[in-house]
Amino acid sequence: MSEIVTRIAPSPTGYMHIGTARTALFNWLYARGRGGKFLLRVEDTDRGRSNSEATRAIFRGMEWLGLHFDGDPVFQADQAARHVEIAHHLLTQGKAYKCFSSQEEIETFRDNARKEGRSTLFRSPWRHTAASNHPDRPFVIRIKAPQNGKTIIKDKVQGDITIRNDQIDDMVLLRADGTPVYMLAVVVDDHDMGVTHVIRGDDHLNNAARQMLIYYAMEWPLPTYAHVPLIFGEDGKKLSKRTGATSLEDYQQMGYPASGMRNYLSRLGWSHGNAEFFTDKMAKDWFDLSGIGRSPARLDFKKLKNLCGQHIAKTSDAALLHELSEYCKVIRKDISDEELKSKIGPALYCIKEHAKTYIELLEKSHFCLTERPIHPDEKAASLLTGDALQMIKTLTPQLQNATWTREDLEVICKIVTVTFNTSFGKLAGPLRAVIAGKTSTPSVFDMMVVLGKKETIARLKDVEHKIWHVEK
């Protein structure tokens, strides 16, 4: 079998839509799982903004999601001469013709058709006119579409879609100003790039039948089509900014790891048995067009978070530090690489199992990023009274002699709570407040181990001094 070539062909709209990201992922998985190629084409014909911020947003999105494409990106606008060449080739072959009908004439044709109850599909009077009878005025080039029979899109997701040819018009290939239309550009580019599989949103299904006519006219082999249902929001309606984040960059900002996003997005419309959590390797091995469902997938943030949490937990500390560093470079510029390495690095072992996003990971590492004196939040401060302070005051000197292993710390704390005839819970809350300034933190023992003896005791003493001072 010849090599599989897929592509993602985004239009630069200013940001990378989550649906485009999912389509890119499907194409990437399909190619990568079969030793094929995955290409990128920027469909910039409408805007001609190849170097613009909108195009950069696409590159950034692809880079962040880890979807590396082969070779150089293709810019559709740069291929215009080739698109024109193909239109002229079809013209000389008699498979396309010059149409001199003005916009007004077309409108009149449609009005009359409407009045007479006929199809309003424009039938150009120039389709069969010999060149010798052509006037000297502007023209468009139209394809000679078949008028009988039917066109069948053999779609790997939607099944066979049959369209009667008498419902397809002679589509314009070149406009009166000589510029090629989008439909022609897509087909020529896909052919020239050697694309074997067109996997894209089902909003393009209608285009497929018309695009196929160009393949037939050029006698080019058809690609395999797979039109994937769109993504809906959590409310079951078409995804919009109101119902869920539509831009891939929003997800990056929310701190989702790219590996978790890939896992989640691949499950959005595709399934492999009951598998939910999987690695890239598994997804590449498993991904197939037959696993893509026919109904629209719904965004489910709970599931996204859950999967992302699993990915964070399974990432090695070194890789996680690298990912956090990338995240901080874009989103949390206040945290330096040095801080990440020296302060968060040692804490990862005890926090990564409990964080679903990088934001949560950084929240949970607050205790090691923050500096003395710790300012407890209101809830934490409310725990630092009476018995609690006495317990901490009793605990501090005992910690001076500790060997600072988790076991040792557990025993010492236990003894203090026994002395006060209470449970560990009564000591844990105030300790969290003293060490981290918060009530929800990693385990107190983990925090003590991560911070080390000197820093922990200093924090305990800070509170003692401050509170005794206040209470006097």
Question: Which residues are near ligand GLU by CB under 6 A?
Answer: 9-11, 43, 186, 200, 204
Minimum distance from residue 56 beta carbon to ligand GLU (Å)? 16
Minimum distance from residue 444 beta carbon to ligand GLU (Å)? 52
Strand duo 140-143 + 96-99: pairing: antiparallel
CA 385 centroid distance within chain: 48
For ligand GLU, which is the closer residue by CB, 47 or 272? 47
The answer to whether 269 and 229 have CB atoms below 8 angstroms apart is yes
Closest residue to ligand GLU, judged by C-beta, is 200
Distance CA 293, CA 381 (A): 53
Q: What is the DSSP string of 60-77?
A: HHHHHHT-PPSSPPEEGG
Q: Which of 187, 182, 183, 172 is nearest to 96 (CA)?
A: 172
Distance CA 68, CA 66 (A): 6
Minimum distance from residue 187 beta carbon to ligand GLU (Å)? 9
Across-strand partners of 163? 151
For ligand GLU, which is the closer residue by CB, 227 or 267? 227
For ligand GLU, which is the closer residue by CB, 189 or 323? 189
CB atoms under 10 Å from CB of 54, counted, come to 19
For ligand GLU, which is the closer residue by CB, 173 or 374? 173
Minimum distance from residue 364 beta carbon to ligand GLU (Å)? 39
Minimum distance from residue 220 beta carbon to ligand GLU (Å)? 15
Q: Where are the alpha helices (DSSP H) in 199-347?
A: 205-218, 248-253, 258-267, 280-286, 301-314, 317-330, 337-339
Minimum distance from residue 11 beta carbon to ligand GLU (Å)? 4
CA distances, 338 to each of 321, 341, 369, 435 (Å): 11, 5, 11, 22
Structure tokens at 173: 């290939």
For ligand GLU, which is the closer residue by CB, 54 or 447? 54
For ligand GLU, which is the closer residue by CB, 45 or 259? 45
Minimum distance from residue 463 beta carbon to ligand GLU (Å)? 57
Minimum distance from residue 85 beta carbon to ligand GLU (Å)? 20
CA distances, 405 to each of 208, 401, 451, 453, 454 (Å): 66, 12, 12, 10, 14
Structure tokens at 353: 């199992």
